[in-house]
Amino acid sequence: QVQLVESGGGLVQAGGSLRLSCAASGRTFDISTMAWFRQAPGKEREFVARIRWKSGTTWYADSVKGRFTISSDNAKNTVYLQMNSLKPEDTAVYYCAGRKTAFSGAYDYWGQGTQVTVSS
């Protein structure tokens, strides 16, 4: 199995930046794709960004494109989410996720989440 642990959340003013980290351990070689999701109070979980370990191919939700950057350090089995120009609507619990399939499918592993709060 794989364990995912997020860190880096916190309180930041609008326009500020945060970098989230997700450290993967266990059978990390089974993971082809890593992603970030978020869930705000009273709202459904939404996709934020994903990255493929081997190719580095990324995809972003329109709401964060141009502001957020997902990256990975394969040697450290760690994925990052650099969040710039943060807005109050970015406030949510951010979750790291991983899946075995590269192109589609449900995510197999989830972290515990880290709170990001953006003040106006």
Which residue type is seen at 68?
F
**50: exposed, middle or buried (Cβ count in 10 Å: 0-12, 13-18, 19+):** buried
Tokens read off for 111 = 């972290």
Token code pair at residue 70: 């997902």
What is the sign, positive or negative, of the torsion defined by CA atoms of 91, 96, 101, 102?
A: positive
Taking the C-alpha atoms of residue 111 and residue 84, their distance in angstroms, rounded to an integer, is 22
CA 68 to each of CA 2, 8, 14, 97, 108: distance values in angstroms, whole numbers, following the listed order? 25, 14, 14, 17, 23
Would you call 51 helix, strand, or coil by DSSP? strand
Token pair, residue 97, equals 């996720």
pLDDT, residue 101, reads: 83
Neighbours of 97 (CB within 10 A): 23
* Per-residue pLDDT tens digits of the chain, which is 120 residues long: 899 999 999 999 999 999 999 999 999 888 999 999 999 999 999 999 999 998 999 999 999 999 999 999 989 999 999 999 999 999 999 999 999 987 778 999 999 999 999 999
